[in-house]
Structure 1
Amino acid sequence: MLTIHGVTRSRASRIIWLCHEIGLEFRQIPVIQAYRLADPDAPDAPLNTHSPAFLALSPAGAIPVIEDDGLVLSESLAATLYLARKYGGDVGPADLAEDAQMMQWSFYAATSIEPDALTILFLHARSRLQSGEDQAIVANAAERLVRPLKVVEDYLSTHKHLVGGRFTVADINLAEILRYAQSYGDLMSQFPATMAWLETCQARPGFRKMWQERLAEPE
């Protein structure tokens, strides 16, 4: 059985959503990020990314990690693309061209969107008063995202999904990265087709099941 190391409040959410979409059973070991703990090296600390047992599996000390039939993968996008190819059926690629397109969108999201989207996630809070410095950092991140999001917007204005006219792992990978910036209305309101696509993705039962599991975890 597939094993996923990592709490759902992490990039493991991408893998878990995919598993729910394709009906793939898995075992989850809730490794928590060390930065969320007051003393991750304390003897009574929960299993975390500093724990020797986890570092033996992932020397980089980052979640998620998957184990499948003896294969260990420690990058979430590598894991989703691999699982979609192996188990995903229509959620995975039908041929080499689709495989390349799914990688293209996934890598584009990771390199051109994710860094600034994460900045917005960590510093933008609608219910919390931000410092002027944080506001400036968020505004700069949002400005940098306009160009890559326009590429996504132009494509989704004429396509229902990213690859093959159907929902695939490429949609999962991009949607989970765009979620980081989703709450920043000043940015996302500029891209109505992208927001409509994102809301459609998040209405799927696979996402909703993953999200409920995520909300059930401690913050």
Structure 2
Amino acid sequence: MKLTIYGIARSRAIRNLWMAEELGLAYQHVQTVYGPEGSRKPDFLKLNPNGRVPAADVDGVILWESLAINLHLAKKVGGSLSPKDVDEDGLMTMWSMWAVTEVETPALAVLTHGSLKSEAERDNALLAKSIEALKAPLAVLEAHLAAHSGHLVGGRFTVADLNVAACVFYLRLSNLLADKPAITAWYTGAMERPAAKKAFALRGD
């Protein structure tokens, strides 16, 4: 397989770098920053006309959207991270879409306005709203993990776990998981995987 990943590690491209490492794939990583010096350049817009990273070239197929790229790689390569059948495929897609619709946006707001921005720059109303919005989905995730041996699908670590953990990553500086032992154990285990360590080291945190 010929795989090229466009983006920087301190972006959603980290999800694809992690997936490539999990699958043991050789890949080219083209450092592409946000904005006019990268994702808005004419050459990149030919790959992703939305002007966002990441993008990926998988054997000549150009894909956008980090979680969709990972789902595609899982099915193309196969193995334990991949769906065994159409039912698992549906469940892995469901959890990935759930992470985007229920977790990612409020979690990113919690990270931004709870930790990254200065006190003067923070939107405390948005922070409070986002914390409230996360209560129900985090309860759903906690209950599911507790009832399913600490994994989302099939009793093993799959692309679904990777995709959802990559969204929960935005909560790493908050205390919102303090009363969620199943999520904490699952997330810690995901981030301790050798492939995760190798990929996240590229962020330079």
Gaps of 5+ in 2: none
Partner of 1:12 in structure 2?
A: 13
Amino acid at match of 1:134: D
2:136 aligned with 1:135: no
Q: 1:143 is paired with a residue of what secondary structure?
A: helix
Amino acid at match of 2:183: T
- CA positional deviation for 1:132: 8.4
- CA positional deviation for 1:190: 2.7
Indicate the percent of aligned positions where both proteins have the same amino acid: 40
Distance across 1 between alignment mates of 2:70 and 2:204? 21
- CA positional deviation for 1:122: 1.8
Question: 1:114 pairs with 104, 128, 136, which one?
Answer: 104
**TM-score, normalised relative to structure 1:** 0.88
Partner of 1:176 in structure 2?
A: 166
Partner of 1:31 in structure 2?
A: 32
Partner of 2:88 in structure 1?
A: 98
Distance across 2 between alignment mates of 1:176 and 1:68? 21
Distance across 1 between alignment mates of 2:43 and 2:131? 39
Question: 2:184 pairs with 192, 195, 201, which one?
Answer: 195
List, as ranges, runs of 4+ consecutive aligned residues in structure 1 with deviation greater than 6 Å: none
Instruction: Tell me, yes or no, if the aligned pair for 1:24 and 1:87 is still in contact at 8 Å.
Output: no
Amino acid at match of 1:98: E
Instruction: Tell me, yes or no, if the aligned pair for 1:13 and 1:210 is still in contact at 8 Å.
Output: yes
- CA positional deviation for 1:121: 2.0
Instruction: Tell me, yes or no, if the aligned pair for 2:145 and 2:182 is still in contact at 8 Å.
Output: yes
Gaps of 5+ in 1: 35-39, 41-45
Distance across 2 between alignment mates of 1:105 and 1:213? 26
- CA positional deviation for 1:74: 0.8
Distance across 1 between alignment mates of 2:33 and 2:137? 31
- CA positional deviation for 1:195: 1.2
Distance across 1 between alignment mates of 2:153 and 2:18? 18
Distance across 2 between alignment mates of 1:86 and 1:49? 26
- CA positional deviation for 1:120: 1.3
Total equivalences in the alignment: 203
The RMSD of aligned alpha carbons is 1.6
Distance across 2 between alignment mates of 1:136 and 1:20? 39
Q: 1:164 is paired with a residue of what secondary structure?
A: coil
Partner of 1:37 in structure 2?
A: none
Instruction: Tell me, yes or no, if the aligned pair for 2:114 and 2:122 is still in contact at 8 Å.
Output: no
Distance across 1 between alignment mates of 2:65 and 2:133? 25
Q: Greater Rg, structure 1 or structure 2?
A: 1
Structure 1 range deviating more: 135-144 or 15-24: 135-144
- CA positional deviation for 1:149: 0.7
Partner of 2:144 in structure 1?
A: 155
The change in CA–CA distance for 1:67 and 1:141 in structure 2 (over 3 A counts) is same
